[in-house]
Amino acid sequence: MRSHYCGEINESLLGKEIEVCGWVHRRRDHGGVIFIDLRDREGLLQVVFDPDRAEIFEQAERIRSEFVLRVKGLVRARPDGTVNPSMRTGKIEVLALDLEVLNKSETPPFHHDEQANEDIRLKYRYLDLRREKMLGNLMLRHKVTMAMRAYLDSNGFIDVETPMLTRATPEGARDYIVPSRTNPGKFFALPQSPQLFKQLLMMSGLDRYYQIVRCFRDEDLRADRQPEFTQLDIEMSFVDEAAVTANVESMIRHVFKKAMDVELADPFPRMTYAEAMHRYGSDKPDLRIDLELIEVSDLMSSVDFKVFAGPASDPEGRVAALCVPGGAEMSRKIIDDYTAFVARYGARGLAYIKVNDLAAGRDGLQSPILKFLPDDAVTGIVERTGAKTGDLIFFGADKARVVNDALGALRIKVGEDRGLVAEGWAPLWVVDFPMFEKDAASKRWSALHHPFTAPSVNDAEALKADPGHALSRAYDMV
Among the four given CATH numbers 3.30.930.10, 3.40.50.720, 3.40.50.150, 3.40.50.10800, the one describing domain 135-260: 3.30.930.10
Q: Quick one: pLDDT at residue 461?
A: 78
Q: Quick one: pLDDT at residue 454?
A: 83
* pLDDT greater than 80 at residue 98: yes
Q: Quick one: pLDDT at residue 441?
A: 78
Split at pLDDT 50, 70, 90, the class of 113 is confident
Q: Which of 293, 295, 300, 297 is nearest to 376 (CA)?
A: 300
Cis peptide bond upstream of 267, omega within 30: yes
Q: Quick one: pLDDT at residue 362?
A: 93
- Please tell me the number of Cα atoms within 13 Å of 49 on its side-chain side: 25
* Contact between residue 4 and residue 71 where contact means Cβ atoms under 8 Å apart: no
Q: Quick one: pLDDT at residue 60?
A: 94
Query: Dihedral angle at the C-alpha atoms of 405, 411, 412, 418, nearest 10 degrees?
Result: 150
Q: Quick one: pLDDT at residue 291?
A: 98
Q: Using CA atoms, how far apart are residues 434 and 472, in angstroms rounded to an integer?
A: 6
> Could you report the per-residue pLDDT of 448-471, keeping only the tens digit for each?
877 778 888 877 777 777 888 889
Q: Quick one: pLDDT at residue 286?
A: 97
Among the four given CATH numbers 2.40.50.140, 3.40.190.10, 3.30.1330.10, 3.20.20.150, the one describing domain 11-103: 2.40.50.140
* pLDDT greater than 90 at residue 34: yes
* pLDDT greater than 80 at residue 402: yes
Q: Using CA atoms, how far apart are residues 41 and 258, in angstroms rounded to an integer?
A: 20
Q: Quick one: pLDDT at residue 219?
A: 85
Q: Quick one: pLDDT at residue 456?
A: 84
Q: Is the pTM of this model over 0.85?
A: yes
Describe the crossing of helices 241-260 and 132-154 by its angle, rounded to 10 degrees. Answer: 140
Domain 282-418 CATH class label: alpha beta
* pLDDT greater than 80 at residue 336: yes
List 397's β-bridge partners, or say none: 319
Query: Domains of the chain: which residue ranges?
Result: 11-103, 135-260, 282-418, 433-477
